Amino acid sequence: MTDSLPSFSDIAADFAFIDDWDEKYRYLIDLGRNLPPLTDEERSEANKVRGCASQVWLVFEGEGDTLRFRGDSDAAIVKGLVGLMMSLYSGQPKAEARSLDAEARLAEIDLKEHITPQRSNGVASMVQKIRAEAAA
């Protein structure tokens, strides 16, 4: 978790409280607005996530056993999904991040049923890149 983002558990609780999916999309967009910005240099090919319809960048930071990263996207809802991934994974021990069942956690907020297949593929691509970094 980063300082500017709520924990995934808090996000799940907020989603449970919000009935309307249009409001949940607005929540995701707001989540993305709270992400720390990336520099132009960080928006590089090396940091780009393949398999996303929108442009997505994940920047992994630091050494050691804790997974830390920041991210960005050129699309508002996808930027919120990046924030969701940061809340789910960033700050976790790498061993936990490798074994985390992202699909099950995201099912808690019924995400897959309410995003397009392209965005769902993009989330899967983000998870794959995060797991690969946690395994490195």
pLDDT in tens, 8-22: 999 999 999 998 989
> Is 98 part of any domain?
yes
Say yes or no to pLDDT of 1 above 70: no
What is the number of domains present in the chain?
Answer: 1
Amino acid at 2: T
Q: What is the pTM of this model?
A: 0.90
CA separation for the pair 41, 62 (Å, rounded):
17
> Is 52 part of any domain?
yes
> Is 1 part of any domain?
no
> Is 34 part of any domain?
yes
> Is 120 part of any domain?
yes
Q: Which of 52, 56, 102, 106 is catalytic?
A: 52
> Is 26 part of any domain?
yes
> Is 3 part of any domain?
no
Domain of 91?
Answer: 8-135
Its sign, for the CA torsion 19, 11, 115, 106, is negative
In Å, how far are 1, 30, 82, 87 from 93, measured between CA atoms?
11, 27, 19, 13
pLDDT of residue 3: 54
Angle (deg, nearest 10), helices 8-17 and 21-33: 150
> Is 2 part of any domain?
no
pLDDT in tens, 59-105: 998 778 999 999 999 999 999 999 999 999 988 999 999 999 998 99
Say yes or no to pLDDT of 113 above 90: no
Please compute, for residue 109, the number of CA atoms within 13 A of its CA located in the half-sphere on the CB side.
26
CA separation for the pair 35, 1 (Å, rounded):
11
Respond yes or no: is residue 127 known to be catalytic: no
CATH at residue 94: 3.90.1010.10
Beta-carbon contacts of 26 under 8 Å, excluding residues fewer than 6 positions away, are none
